[in-house]
Structures are given as structure tokens and as C-alpha cells.
Amino acid sequence: MQLHLYNSLTRKTEPFVAIQEAQKIASFYACGPTVYDFAHIGNFRAFLNADVLRRTLEAIGYKVNQVMNITDVGHMTDDGVADGGGEDKMKVAANRLAEAKKSGVLPDGVELDPSDPLAIAQYYAQAFMEDSKILGMEI
């Protein structure tokens, strides 16, 4: 079976050829979440697309090496009005978690220090992993 993929650079559908075609090994990188909040359906669309691609390649006989990052820093203020209005997203998350802690209820009953950016990132990274597992994704 020959897999064909749309190449957005050439704007054509082209046959898939792995760099290690003779060994039937395919490798690809997929952007993962930036963990300053819970992932939503729009985020998961990209993650699920990568998961479907990996499963398709495996189904047609490839050994697949897939890498997905989890970003806990970076591009946190430059997204403009579309997402957070240019505010530091980790500070927004810290404020949201501080309010939840003040009211005595953190999501999932979790106790964490909302002033610790690493703790915030780890909390949302763990939530992403749990959500991915529920969706049957192999992360």
C-alpha cells in the first residue's frame, strides 16, 4: 500500500517516501503543547493528527520514531490578542491557580505553589498526559 500525503510546500499530493525507506523506518517531529493551561479540543486536533499519522504508518508496516515536545517556556507573550492579549501566559495561569487556591479549590484537588512556574508547567503537562491517555493516544 502506498501512502500519499499533501505537501503544503508544493501544494500537491505526493507519495510518502521515508528517509530510511529500505528499512521501513519513518521518523517525524510534531509540536506538542505549551503547558500554561489545560489543552482544549483545538490543541488536541494537532496532537490527534500526529497520532493518526503514526498509527497509519505503523498499519502499513513502518517502524515509527515520533518525537513530540512539551514546551514549558517560550512564546508566552507574543501571541497578541488572539490568545491572552499579549499577557504573560504563565502569570495568567499563576493568577488563576492562586485564585483557586485562595478559594480553597484547586483543579482536581491539587495542592501546588501558584508562584512556581515549574510547578504550573508540570501540573498542566501531567494533565495533558492524562487527557492523551484517555483519548487512547500513544505519547
How confident is the model over 19-37, as pLDDT tens digits? 999 999 999 999 888 888 8
Domains of the chain with CATH codes: 4-134 (3.40.50.620)
Other beta carbons within 10 Å of 112: 15
pTM, full prediction: 0.71
Please write down the long-range contacts of 10-19, taking CB distance under 8 Å and 24 or more positions apart: 18/62
pLDDT tens profile 74-90: 555 555 555 555 677 77
Report helix angle 89-102 to 117-134, nearest 10.
Answer: 90
